Amino acid sequence: MKVLVIHGPNLNILGYRNEKYYGSKTLEEVNNMIESKAKELNVQVEIFQSNYEGDIISKLQYTLQTNYSGVIINPGGYSHYSIAIRDAVESVQIPVIEVHLSNIYEREQFRNKSIIAPVCTGQITGFGPFSYILALEAIVLLQRNFI
């Protein structure tokens, strides 16, 4: 089983961002958590980060030609307005779980709506870096038909 993890814009500067919302871990530390959990679950992960919408779209489209079992995506600010990423997620033919470190529903009103969530298998928000861990576990359960 292979899972693609996509980190969107500004996630490369975790550790510098508002700790109240994003915690104190760096992206490298978050990635280490993901890789450790993946190893425990016997899952291969490929981790990708980009600040560019087109790169994220291309990576999502790449899943159409490969053998991924699922995608975990934190689209960052693109969650709220990127119709192009939404369309790419909708085209993906494997489970896609949207994650956010902070609870977007407890934040500014413009962050309360994800236009990507309706085309995802599910959404996990507000558990800090553990949002990724929960999403990874969910994909494994989906692939094993436990959900």
List Cα–Cα distances, 140 to 10, 60, 76, 92, 113, in angstroms.
27, 19, 23, 17, 27
User: CA 119, CA 106: separation in Å to the nearest integer?
Assistant: 22
Q: Are strands 122-125 and 96-100 parallel, antiparallel or unpaired?
A: parallel
Active-site residues: which are they?
A: 22, 100
Which residues, 6+ apart, have CB-to-CB distance to 128 below 8 Å? 22, 23, 25, 101, 102
